[in-house]
Amino acid sequence: MKKIIDFIDEETAAAFASCGYDAKYAKTTLSNRPDLCEYQCNGALAAAKEYKKAPIQIAEEVAEKLSNHPMFSMAEAVRPGFLNFRISEAYLADYLEKMRQDTKYFGLERTKEPRRIMIDYGGPNVAKPLHIGHLRSAIIGESIKRIGRLMGHEMIGDVHLGDWGLQMGLIITELKERKPDLPYFDENYSGEYPLDAPFTISELEEIYPSASAKSKEDTAYKDLAMQATFELQNGRRGYQALLSHILNVSVTDLKRNYANLNVTFDLWKGESDAQPYIPDMVQKMKDEGYAYISEGALVVDVKEDTDTKEIPPCMILKSDGASLYNTTDLATIVWRMQDYNPDEIIYVVDKRQELYFTQVFRCAKKTKLVGEDTILKFHGFGTMNGKDGKPFKTREGGVMRLEHLVDEINEEMYQKIINNQTQMKDDEARKTAQIVALSAIKYGDLSNQAAKDYIFDIERFTSFEGNTGPYILYTIVRIKSILTKYKELGGSKDDAKILPAKSESEKSLMLELSRFGAAMESAFAETAPHKVCAYIYALSNALNHFYHETKILAEEDKAVQAGYICLLDLTKTILETCIDVLGFQAPERM
């Protein structure tokens, strides 16, 4: 369904043209003075120059043409040459009714040319617990994926596990010290290895940090770990078997953690999956003359004439021939293109990695790992800070584990809910607290522009008032409760429809509803979930304003009442659709 603003554009373009002016001047925007009008067009001001006429004269001619149009309740020319519009109540009601009949997409214009877009997000490291640095990537990436799907694109999420490198050698070395008799360490062992891992996730999470600490103090230990890494990467059987145990145990735990965040991935590929593609890729870069040796290392130049700052060459292999983070990311592009041939790959990663990705992307383009028209996009996010403005820490000043952060907010929410809902049973209160807490965390993050740092303010984020997730959920819950009461009173909206607005607040709500498609479209086009947040905040405010000004359940005219109910129902489903793309849900009550 076309957007209202597109219909206005069409009508004003026709009016400009029939008055003898170029239709290109007929561009309408949302009014920034809602007290004066709902939409406005400033084209007469620009046209005045070309036609050497007073802008007001042009505006008046155009307004005259539009004044009887059923779309507008007001189309007027205002000095010095603005065109101010108000949408007619009947037209708006009709438009919303059409949205309501589209029970899945509410008039959203989905794409006619679906693109295949891969999203690289999450990026957890195997054997290390998720910390809050991984939270933003998961939340933002998940939302971008869902917005893309709603718009009709094929979105493929890949977690891109950090499962390669010294951390694996460290775990193997420590395990060998603790349990030297395990068959994985016996080079002469040729039988099958046990199916069960020789450690649990809690052991694994303790083994890694202690190994890492030891390696910093003990160079001999570090050498052992490097040797183990080398042997693992060169295919030593026992170590490969240990790697799969580490991966299995870790991934099971990661999946549980991500499920609690309502985050899922289509692909659970990792850095290790890229390794087989490295030798051919490197050979090709050498053969085609892109890669050359500089100070012992193999590099590809990626600087460009228009650069304003120094972009160092992209290093492909270290002087000892070892591969790097870069090499893995490039080889990952190789399999992604080969197996999926995406139109675009979006990387949702900490913005401090921006220069690194500039190098990787340029190198991939230059060495033709991707074609000219494949888009590689870096979507960098800022740091999540504590109230002191420094990166978020535990009370003791340590790195906060994601699980602990979530537990803390669940608890805070639980207290609020049992204070609010004194009759709610404990298990419902716990469940509700989890649902609402997730909205607090996700909305708190997504309502900011991703690239900006933000302050994780638990008190503010969990508040039921203001620009917060719980406020949005509260609005949905409020509508649900009115709809239930209406039904209990015997009301039905079966053959009811949305009627023309009778009050200012009802019309504002209707205008907000009509902007759903525009909000979602721009959120997708600009990879900007915060636009969905801004939209539902405005919509919730409009709903609550309408609710406070209007007697809904006490309305005596049944047709009017049923019309209100249709309007509330549409508001509810649109809010639900929007929070779904943000990656959270609403409870029945709170």
Which residue ranges make up the site for ligand ARG (CB under 6 A)? 120, 123, 125, 160, 162, 329, 347, 349
Q: How far is the CB of 273 from ligand ARG (least distance, A)?
A: 12
User: Cβ closer to ligand ARG: 301 or 354?
Assistant: 354
Token pair for 53: 């006429």
314-317 vs 297-300, strand pairing mode: antiparallel
Q: How far is the CB of 154 from ligand ARG (least distance, A)?
A: 20
Who's near 566: CB < 8 A, 6+ residues apart?
97, 100, 493, 496, 497, 498
Q: Is the dihedral of CA 486, 491, 497, 498 positive or negative?
A: negative
Residue 79 zone, left/alpha/beta (φ > 0; ψ -120 to 50; rest): beta
CA distance 511 to 545: 13
Question: If 0-12 CB within 10 Å is exposed, 13-18 middle and 19+ buried, where does residue 240 land?
Answer: middle
Q: How far is the CB of 390 from ligand ARG (least distance, A)?
A: 19
39-41 vs 28-30, strand pairing mode: antiparallel
Helices (H), 234-320: 237-260, 278-287
User: Cβ closer to ligand ARG: 351 or 497?
Assistant: 351
Q: How far is the CB of 352 from ligand ARG (least distance, A)?
A: 9
Q: How far is the CB of 382 from ligand ARG (least distance, A)?
A: 15
Give Cα separations from 133 to 350, 351, 386, 391 (angstroms). 8, 11, 13, 9
Q: State CA 442 to chain mean position distance.
A: 10
Q: 3-state class of 377 per DSSP?
A: strand
Q: How far is the CB of 137 from ligand ARG (least distance, A)?
A: 7
CA distance 231 to 520: 50
User: Cβ closer to ligand ARG: 354 or 576?
Assistant: 354
CA distance 3 to 111: 14
User: Cβ closer to ligand ARG: 123 or 444?
Assistant: 123
User: Cβ closer to ligand ARG: 362 or 493?
Assistant: 362
User: Cβ closer to ligand ARG: 125 or 505?
Assistant: 125
Token pair for 498: 């949305």
CA distance 249 to 262: 20
Q: Which of 438, 416, 417 lies closest to 428 in space, CA to CA?
A: 417
Beta strands in 141-229 (DSSP E): 154-158
Q: How far is the CB of 246 from ligand ARG (least distance, A)?
A: 15
Q: How far is the CB of 578 from ligand ARG (least distance, A)?
A: 28
User: Cβ closer to ligand ARG: 62 or 118?
Assistant: 118
User: Cβ closer to ligand ARG: 23 or 324?
Assistant: 324
Q: State CA 170 to chain mean position distance.
A: 34
Q: 3-state class of 507 per DSSP?
A: helix
User: Cβ closer to ligand ARG: 64 or 350?
Assistant: 350
Cα Dmax for the chain: 95
User: Cβ closer to ligand ARG: 129 or 583?
Assistant: 129
User: Cβ closer to ligand ARG: 147 or 349?
Assistant: 349
Report yes or no: 280 and 369 within 8 Å, Cβ to Cβ: no
Report yes or no: 419 and 348 within 8 Å, Cβ to Cβ: no
Q: How far is the CB of 180 from ligand ARG (least distance, A)?
A: 31
Q: How far is the CB of 165 from ligand ARG (least distance, A)?
A: 10
Q: 3-state class of 215 per DSSP?
A: helix
Angle separating helix axes 132-150 and 529-549, nearest 10 degrees: 80
Q: How far is the CB of 175 from ligand ARG (least distance, A)?
A: 22
